[in-house]
Copies of this chain bind each other. A is one copy, B any other.
């Protein structure tokens, strides 16, 4: 890479003249500007990002810590973050915490050394279980703002972008109840997450409001064979006529299992699941889904962080944005 120094030497002017010329400074003569720019173009000069970062004490880089990149929702949020960030000239450094507290801490530590100007993250499962928040607080007190999304640590004072998980399952369940479904099961493989708990509560609330109904929850562990678990549950509970799935694969598997057992979907049983549009194509009939607008969540998170980074006046008030889910009716409900 060419440097200002080299250009200056070749042009027989000083480094600062070159610098100013390239930045269209008023101080420099037209003729000089032209000469400088021509040589710069010839050599494809690009200002060294690292030097700029050091000088200006900001990197225009955002650290993103994500629990699981293979999770379609999280990947889509990352996509949203990236799209929004590039608009403002920011880059994204990604760390994957693998749902591990230790790796989450490590990610923060590794990047909190001047590599990034701030963080966007979703809290790892283990972190939520152990309720650890010190590492977040420490990072913030070091002057690096954090924006949390989806799985947030409520006790950390920072900007947040969340989903209306509780309302989403409450409304979805209500809609199945309106279909006169009597035995609606809630299937979850994300019991350990804050959002998983909220989703369960929304479902439970709706069920209990309906006189005489009792909530019924099927919890699946990560290491379980989901297909087997759901199959054996369906076999034991022949009267199931509705499913609310807290995660996409539970919803997909529920439909396929019902069909395998000879049930008609949605005539005999309705299924609603948290899932993306592309997931909904993985079943026939197509899954009625609760959409989280992942990309939008990412964009909002990026905006909040960038806003905080650029507004020097210390805004002390943290904000929490709620990106509402949409219930997209398809063919797996009446």
A residues whose Cβ falls under 8 Å from a Cβ of B:
1, 44, 46-51, 53-54, 59, 61, 69-70, 72, 75-76, 78-79, 82-83, 86, 91-96, 110-115, 142-143, 226-227, 249, 252-253, 256-257, 259-260, 278, 281-284, 286
A82:B96 contact, CB within 8 angstroms: yes
Partner among B46, B53, B143 whose Cβ is within 8 Å of the Cβ of A50: B53
| Nearest opposing residue in chain B for A144, CB measure | B1
A249:B282 contact, CB within 8 angstroms: yes
Known: A49-B115, A227-B281. A70 touches B61 (CB 8 A): no
Known: A61-B93, A75-B70, A143-B1. A48 touches B113 (CB 8 A): yes
B91:A110 contact, CB within 8 angstroms: yes
The 29 sampled A-B contact pairs (Cβ below 8 Å) are: A1-B114, A1-B142, A1-B143, A44-B142, A46-B112, A49-B113, A50-B50, A50-B115, A51-B54, A51-B114, A54-B54, A70-B75, A70-B79, A70-B278, A79-B96, A86-B95, A86-B110, A91-B95, A91-B115, A92-B93, A226-B281, A227-B284, A253-B284, A256-B256, A256-B282, A256-B283, A257-B284, A259-B259, A282-B282
| Nearest opposing residue in chain B for A283, CB measure | B256
CA distance A169 to B82 in the complex (A): 35
For A50, A91, A92, A94, which residue has the most chain B Cβ atoms within 10 angstroms? A50
How far in angstroms is the closest Cβ of chain B from A39?
17
